[in-house]
Every structure is written in structure tokens, then in C-alpha cells.
Amino acid sequence: MKRDPNSHKGENGKVAIIGGSRHMHGAPLLCALAAERSGADLVYLSLPDWHENVAKDTSLNFQVYPFQMDDLQAHDVGPVLGLLATMDCAVLGPGIDHANEDSKKALMQIIEGASCALVLDAAALQPETLKAVKGKSAVLTPHLGELERMEVKEKELEKAAKDSGAVIVLKGPEDQVVGPDGKSETIKGGNAGLTVGGTGDVLAGLIGGLIAQKMDPFEASVLATKIIKKAGEELKKDNSYAYTASDVIGIIPEMLNC
């Protein structure tokens, strides 16, 4: 990606990741690492307080803002929205507890109040999400099960994108990226090794990092899906299917340079 050689710290992307729960510390961390490897200048991470230290150990570059107590709750909404007001893009949802109704309610309030561009994944994908993102710059990254939870049929993707104004990335053996203006692209490639846990979090973080660097949301979604699939193909050469989401993150810069 091109950037101004005279730019200063923070001018090439500030991205926040909001996620995590007691049993899901890895999802927001993988997402944040992918955003970091996208080339974004600054990565902010908000997650449960019991994961604060592991988040700080994961990267010396992360700026960590733990939730006030445990899982995301109503009292976290104000501080998180204050953080997002200074961001170029935020990824919401990775690792949030699907069974915690209070967390999901707080997450929806953050979506509705956010002033920056958004990438929504996992628990952020609810039946009310499409309504909540109207008027915002947003990318939604469901797999088929999450699309069903959103009460959208696969054949309705174009209508859902147009009505909501969001880019929708439907993940699968072939990823389909649909824009609100009718643009659509199918990305083939990859392999079954990409079914390993965490690759969806990596994709969301990479999209968020690219958008934070001022890439168009549709183009960022297409590029990120191509990079993840190409990374899977490269890793399979030496690892068969025994590679991890962390391995995918490790070669993102090489894939960006292809």
C-alpha cells in the first residue's frame, strides 16, 4: 500500500478491537495481530480485564483498555465509544460470549453509537445488526450459520447489502464479497486447512487494518480474503493442513507484497 513518506505516527491507521470473554481470549488477540500485520500504525485492544496481561504480552505495540470488570457490560459502552471516537476503524465482536445477553446488548449499543468505520464479526452479527449499521461505513463478515442468525438467506445478500449500506463478506470455500452499490466478487482458492480456529478473526482484523489505512471497504474486503486464501495455499506446501491462524498472520506482510 502507498503512503506519504512524510507521514507521522498514527496517520497510517488507528484500529481498535473490541472482543473477548472468559473462555475466548484468543479471538480478539488474533484479530489485533492481523490488524497490526496489515501495516496499521496503532492498534488498540479492549477485552475482559482478566486477559489484560496476556494481551500486553502478545504484542508490545498493543494499547490495552480492559473492560471495567469481566465480560462486556452496559458500563463499558461509554468508555468504548469514547475510544472509538478517535479511531479510523474498529472490529467488534470476536470472542464476545454469544450466550451473554448483557454483552450482546452492550455490543449493539456500541455499534449504534460508533462514529468510525466498523468491521462486525461473530457476536456482533445479530438480527438487528443490519438495521444498526444504516448510515455507517460497515463490513459484516458472516459464515452461513451467522448469516442464518441474522435472518438473511444467501440469495438475499445483494438486497441486504443495498438496504443496510454495508459490505457483506460471506465466508466459505469460496468467499463472496457484496457491496451496497451492487458490486460483487467471488474469491476462490485456499484449502481446508483454513477451517482451523481463528482464521475468521484474522480476516476481520486484516480488513479492519486495511480500512484504517484509508482503503475502500469493498476493496479492503476483497484484498483481505485473497490474502487469507493465498496464505493458506503457501502454508500447505510445507505444513499440509497442520497450520494455525498464527501461521497465517505471520505471512500476511509477504502476501501483501505479492
C-alpha cell, 132: 444498526
Do residues 70 and 50 lie in contact, with contact meaning Cβ atoms separated by under 8 Å? yes
- Measuring CA to CA, which residue among 165, 138, 168, 136 is closest to residue 152? 168
Query: Which alpha helices (H) appear in the chain, and where do they start and end?
Result: 26-37, 52-58, 77-84, 101-113, 129-132, 144-149, 157-164, 199-212, 217-239, 245-250, 252-256
What tens digit of pLDDT does each residue of 118-142 get?
Answer: 999 999 999 999 999 999 999 999 9
**Predicted pLDDT at 109:** 98
Residue numbers of the chain with a pLDDT score lower than 70: 1
Do residues 167 and 141 lie in contact, with contact meaning Cβ atoms separated by under 8 Å? no
Q: What is the pTM of this model?
A: 0.97
**Predicted pLDDT at 37:** 98
Pairing of strands 184-187, 175-178: antiparallel
Domains of the chain: 14-253 (3.40.1190.20)
Do residues 178 and 184 lie in contact, with contact meaning Cβ atoms separated by under 8 Å? yes
**Predicted pLDDT at 3:** 76
- Measuring CA to CA, which residue among 47, 83, 197 is closest to residue 55? 47
The owner of cell 489505512 is 213
**Predicted pLDDT at 7:** 76
